């Protein structure tokens, strides 16, 4: 009876959590089709806000800038973070490894305001003009620690005997890296890439500090428009982004499951 009661409580807790998470999103999606142009009374179905969205050239350019920043920063951060995780894994000095990992974790828990202000001061001292480059550098910097944390557990899951066997068979270090290590930790690399992409897309605090007057990202633009009242075209844009995010999530799940099946077949061989 106690187990049954605890199961019902856990299920009820999950239901409440999902309600709090998804009801606002559903509310936003529904009112992106509201002909009344308001968020408190649904007066009819319309696609006018989607037409207004696709006719807003400036907003579409900002969306494009945001996607470019996110993809570039996620790709670079994934490459650097993966190499950093591999370096930490093979580091023989335990205290040095733990110290570097602690510094990596500090960057994750550090407030975004502190990171943004630090980058603003750095770019000002170096004379780097605020804009695309400054935002890209900042996004790469705060995404690298995330990738390290996503890749490192996969490295520790990897049997060390795989590396030893490859080395005993005469494989050089480069071939061990590309033929053994990288294929095994690919799920972690993919997870790190998608996490870095997500963090870059929804970042506001850091971007707000390092963006220039001639460059903006979606989060900063929505904040600026919210001060004057948000049009339901923002609801339409958010609905599209939510749909794309769901596709990415299902795509990542499919790729991870496919990779797990291929890895299982490879290990059996």
Query: Using H for helix, E for strand and C for coil, what is the string for 157-190?
Result: HCCHHHHHHHHHCCCCHHHHHHHHHHHHHHHHHH
Q: Indicate whether 1 pLDDT > 60.
A: no
What is the Cα–Cα distance from 21 to 15, expressed in whole angstroms? Answer: 10
Contact 196, 77 (CB under 8 A): yes
Within a 10 A sphere around the Cβ of 176, how many other Cβ atoms? 18
Lookup: tokens for 101: 């990992």
pTM, two decimal places: 0.81
Contact 56, 120 (CB under 8 A): no
Q: What is the pLDDT of residues 54-75, one digit of tens each?
A: 888 888 898 899 999 999 999 9
The residue count of the chain comes to 269
> Measured at the alpha carbon of residue 227, what is the angle toward residues 222 and 232, in degrees to the nearest 5?
55
| Residue 192 to residue 150: CA distance in whole angstroms | 5
CA dihedral of residues 118, 121, 124, 127 (deg, nearest 10) = -60
As a whole number, mean pLDDT of residues 242-249 equals: 81
Domains and CATH numbers, the chain: 57-268 (1.10.3720.10)
Cβ–Cβ under 8 Å, residues 149 and 88 = no
* Residue 35 pLDDT grade (very low, low, confident, very high; cuts 50, 70, 90): confident
pLDDT of residue 3: 62
The total of other beta-carbon atoms located within 10 Å of residue 65's CB is: 18
Percent of the chain surpassing pLDDT 90: 20
Section 38-44 average pLDDT: 79
DSSP state of 7: H
DSSP 129: P
DSSP class of residue 228 equals T
Map residue 52 onto helix, strand or coil: helix
Cα torsion angle, 182, 186, 190, 192, sign: negative
Is pLDDT above 60 for 2? no
Which residue would you say has higher pLDDT here, 108 or 122? 122
Evaluate whether 223 touches 42 at the Cβ level (below 8 Å): no
Q: Which of 219, 226, 240, 248 is nearest to 62 (CA)?
A: 219
């Amino acid at each position: 009876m106690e187990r049954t009661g605890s199961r019902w409580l856990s299920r009820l807790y999950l239901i409440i959590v999902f309600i709090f998470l998804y009801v606002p999103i559903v509310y936003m999606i529904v009112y992106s089709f509201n002909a009344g142009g308001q968020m408190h009374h649904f007066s009819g179905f319309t696609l006018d806000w989607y037409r207004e969205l696709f006719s807003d050239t400036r907003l579409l350019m900002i969306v494009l800038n945001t996607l470019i920043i996110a993809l570039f920063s996620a790709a670079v951060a994934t490459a650097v973070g993966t190499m950093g995780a591999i370096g930490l894994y093979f580091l023989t000095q335990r205290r040095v490894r733990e110290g570097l990992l602690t510094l990596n974790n500090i960057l994750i828990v550090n407030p975004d305001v502190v990171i943004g202000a630090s980058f603003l001061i750095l770019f000002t001292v170096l004379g780097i003009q605020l804009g695309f480059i400054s935002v890209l550098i900042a996004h790469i910097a705060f995404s690298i620690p995330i990738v390290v944390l996503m890749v490192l557990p996969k490295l520790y899951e990897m049997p060390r005997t795989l590396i030893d066997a490859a080395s005993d068979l005469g494989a050089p270090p480069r071939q061990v890296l590309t033929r053994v290590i990288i294929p095994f930790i690919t799920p972690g690399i993919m997870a790190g890439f998608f996490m870095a992409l997500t963090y870059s897309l929804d970042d506001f605090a850091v971007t707000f500090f390092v963006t220039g007057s001639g460059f903006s990202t979606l989060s900063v633009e929505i904040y600026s428009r919210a001060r004057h009242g948000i049009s339901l075209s923002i609801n339409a844009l958010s609905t599209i982004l939510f749909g794309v995010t769901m596709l990415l999530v299902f795509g990542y799940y499919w790729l991870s499951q496919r990779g797990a099946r291929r890895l299982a077949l490879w290990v059996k061989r």
